[in-house]
Chain A
Amino acid sequence: MSAVDYSAWVELIHQKAEQLRVVFLQLGSSNEPARRALTSSHLAVQTVRTYMKPDRERVEGTLLLDNMEDLAVTSPDVAMGALRERVFADVDAGTRVVLLSRAPRIAYPAVVGSSLLDDASFAHAPVVKSNGPEGFPACVEDGTDPTPLLRQALSELGPELCASLDRALYESMLTGETALSTLSARELEALDGAGITAPNGATRSWNFSKHLVPLKSALDDVLSDDLDPQHQLTDVSAGLWKIERIIRREIRKRAVTAWGGSWRQQCLNADLTEKVLERATEEAYLAATSIKHLRDPLEWLSLGELLQLKDRTEIGDLGLNAAFWRRFGAQIMPIRNRLAHMRTLRPDDATNVVKWQRVLELRLLKSGTSAVS
């Protein structure tokens, strides 16, 4: 039997479902007792997979769809669009639906059109205030070991959010409210659901002592233990591949136009020529003694070095104005570095890469056409 009385909170969730019809509720492993209290209350419980079977019957009253986090993986069995259609058909017929997930909304892959997770009203997990993972309800009530539980809670948040925490806590060395201020609204909501922070009206606080030591320690383990590719990896790597090759091709075209057959030697300054030749001979062109022996010296430049070539009058801005190029550099270079060093990608990385890929395709490949972004 639960030591804490969750009945008021459970009643609140029921009321919210009654009023707002579709509710999304994130309850991580740290909140396992609340999950038990809710699933054993007066409602029907189905896993999302069972719910999507063709022969299922509509539930009267309130339906709790469990294991929603199954849809947060790279290739979920159930498409979010199909789930949205079914949920709304049932809601129209009078059913109330609670979407119960261990993963936060931010951990789900972006959908193409309207999103069920955005259409649903958001419900909060019970507010837990503590000074460390020992205060998590699962530890207090079930006696779960706090250290692995905290790791589990971070894993459930997804690698992108862990990367955001990494940036705030390690890279920026922030603590307290300052660290929280670097996170987006959806990220903060996720931390509440995992019991890592506690909301207090419009503000929130960490559920850890001042220097967040246990959290940082768990974050170390989770990030270093994460071996699976992130779901945005395909988009990011494919996008960066295309971006860099588009730029390289356009620079090459301009260089050939400007310098003809001697473009290889003319394009790079003396310093870069030396570096490129060294890199190429070390890895591939074992017999090359001059830059003119390389098929394409641009392939041996980093993205930063490649972009510097735009400063040459003969190359120019490639059809994209300076303000765009500045922004491109500021957004794309760090992502490329993260990928080059196989570090965890951040939540916005795929969006930014796809965005710049589209801009370059439009401006560098299709300039003059009427196509739209």
Chain B
Amino acid sequence: MAKIRVHELASELGVDAATVLARLKLLGEYVKSPSSTIEAPVAAKVRATFGVRTPRPAPRPSPVRRDHVDPYVDSPTFDPTAPSSRQHGWRAGAVPVPRHPDLLKNIQKTRQRFPAFGDHLDALRSLGSQVVYAGPCKQDGFKDCVIVHVRFSGAIEAGFGFTREVMLFYSPHEDLQVRTFEAAARELAKKDQPVTPDIFFMWSPDQRLGIKLNDWSRPSKLAIPFLIDDEDELSLITLLRNHIYARDLFYMTTPVFGASFFGRRTLLQSLRDDVFNQQVTGVFGLRKSGKTSILMQLKEELHDDHIVTVLMDLEAFPSPPEDPTDDIVSDLRRRLIAELKTHKLRTQELSQLSDRPSILELKNALQVILKHLWKDGYRILLLLDEIEYLTPADRIDIAEGDMPRVAQLLSALRSIVQESENFTFVLSGLTSAIVEAGRLYGRPNPLFSWAKAVYVKPLEREEADELASTVGGKMGIQIEPGALEALHEASGGHAYLYRNLSSAVVRHLPTDVFQRTMIRSAVLTELDDWKSRVQGNIEEMIQHVKRYYATEAVMLELLMDDPGDFKELAPSEHVAVRRLKDLGLIYERDGEYQASVILELV
């Protein structure tokens, strides 16, 4: 194949020559200037990094709906309007014009009802994208709305991380209400929809459409106002850039589950087995290591297994020395009833109790219900998060302190597990004292030597790579291997720090490029600032270790300040050393212990 000059390739791709030169450099190809020529295979590699396929003499037929049409050859399937050179690159991997009569009829109907839809069609087609479905919304109260599915060109899909069709929701209302937004969100959530699950476009004649959608959108449901500027041929691309590139899916304040959850496959499988084997387990780890996310993901994954799951966050209840048990028992009853009703299961015995039953009353009622559920193949799983609120070791002597009802509640839960075949519970928190202390509030600890402790360790490199690549892909960002390595090295794989660093790097990536790419140097450039920003968070994590793991904290201090003392004591303090390893704070290499990356950041 013939050689091509850099500036010609740049023109073909719709970017400037400097961008192509930079991309060549990343590929290890050193080219002097825009007028230099490059070999055809090299040009093909460059095109690939921009999500563009190299033209082939005969495109192979595709099993999927979109044909890989050569964008450079005039084709009857293309919109007759010739694209500009700026649009050219985005048309790569164009979608064929729809031909099915029903679809064409529906498109026409939609066009008549929503004249703006005609402009949208033109804008989509000029960028190699097509409407593949159009039909009325079937929800009561919203039947005057229309739902459209769009398949974007291959280049747009690659550039913005789409892997499926995208939904457009048309509403005729001049004063768009949040209930219409919610109706669109419900459409998006339908399981049979083949559309991108967290992004959709919305159009209505409301003058404040942009402001309203900006207010109502949330990370799990980004609504983009479909407002196209007729004068700008790349208006749609600008719209996508302004919204997709502005997203930061790495930064998470709330726990993640479902499509946002990554890794931990072994731990989740083990927890799943524990649920079916009625092995009570405690999931422990540093602050922000992802414990709550694991519980929520477990709940999600057990949803289809006839398991009724109740997740209780104990932080909202009073904490010892104030007695929290009455409130917990009352709330547990209420949540169990609600969850059982959702599954249309028996609640009678629980409903007959007073609002604030005793521990024994709850236990008896639950046991009767469990017998009935067992016949129908159902199980109940209780997830108790932030368990240290029951054992605040820095506030009360949890071994002998005067709070026997906490121990009594845990004893009741243990006996339900032992006396039934379909109930179990999982604990989660910072400290494993609740399953490892011999005594609890003046009684033998019911969980001691009975419940299992597992620790949430930092993400393995493979898990972290999957997280970064997938989340980055959703924001249209390609992450190079060197960058993945740097992210993991700098954060030590700690889930929060990893996401936080990725987020910091993404914030400084350019948004006016064809393909956003995170390279190693972008991560390294960000490190100093990022370290100064997360130091406070890491100090807080370490403070918590000091509060709940006293011996371990002293050993950690020795490792940092007097490594000789640490080495001498490590054999006799093996329990503390093991726990520090479990928490991901130290590691052993060639028989020597070293502080993990997290500690180096302080």
Contact = CB atoms under 8 A, between A and B. Distances in A.
Interface of A: 18-22, 60-61, 79, 81-82, 84-85, 88, 91-92, 94, 105, 110-115, 118-122, 184-186, 189, 201-202, 235, 321, 323-324, 327, 348, 350-352, 354-359, 361-362, 366, 369-373
27 contacts: A81-B315, A88-B254, A111-B315, A112-B388, A112-B395, A114-B386, A115-B287, A118-B540, A120-B253, A184-B539, A185-B539, A202-B529, A321-B572, A323-B562, A323-B568, A327-B558, A351-B543, A356-B550, A362-B550, A370-B438, A372-B575, A373-B393, A373-B433, A373-B549, A373-B550, A373-B551, A373-B552
Given A112-B392, A118-B288, A373-B551, A323 B558 contact: yes
Interface string B434-448: 001111000000001
Contacts of A186: 536, 539-540
B389 A112 contact: yes
A21 B552 CA distance: 35
Interface in B231-250: 246-248
B447 to A, nearest CB: 12
A113 B315 contact: yes
Contacts of B575: 372
Given A111-B315, A355-B550, A373-B551, 13 more contacts: A19-B246, A21-B254, A60-B178, A61-B215, A81-B389, A84-B315, A112-B315, A185-B532, A185-B536, A355-B547, A356-B550, A370-B438, A373-B549
A94 B536 CA distance: 28
B438 A371 contact: yes
A363 to B, nearest CB: 8
Contact of A20 (B215, B248, B536): B248
A16 B95 CA distance: 37
5 closest A-B pairs by beta carbon, nearest first, are: A185-B535, A81-B315, A358-B550, A323-B565, A113-B386
Interface size class of chain B, counting residues whose CB lies under 8 Å from the partner chain: 35 or more
B254 A118 contact: no
Contacts of B254: 21, 88, 91-92, 119
Contacts of B532: 185, 202
A184 B536 CA distance: 7
Given A118-B537, A185-B536, A351 B547 contact: yes
Contact of A355 (B248, B546, B576): B546
Interface in B204-242: 214-219
A355 B540 CA distance: 15
A354 B251 contact: no
Contacts of B192: none
A121 B253 contact: yes
Contacts of B219: 21
B29 interface: no
- For the residues of B in contact with A, the DSSP-based class is helix
B389 A372 contact: no
A323 B569 CA distance: 9
Which of B219, B315, B438 is the most central at the interface, judged by chain A CB atoms within 10 Å of its CB? B315
Nearest to A117: B540
B438 A85 contact: no
A351 B541 CA distance: 13
Contacts of A113: 314-315, 386, 388-389, 429-430
A73 to B, nearest CB: 17
A118 B536 CA distance: 9
A372 B434 CA distance: 9
B411 interface: no
A94 B254 CA distance: 12
Contacts of A324: 554
Contacts of A110: 394, 543, 547
A19 B436 CA distance: 41
A84 B217 CA distance: 21
Contacts of B292: 114
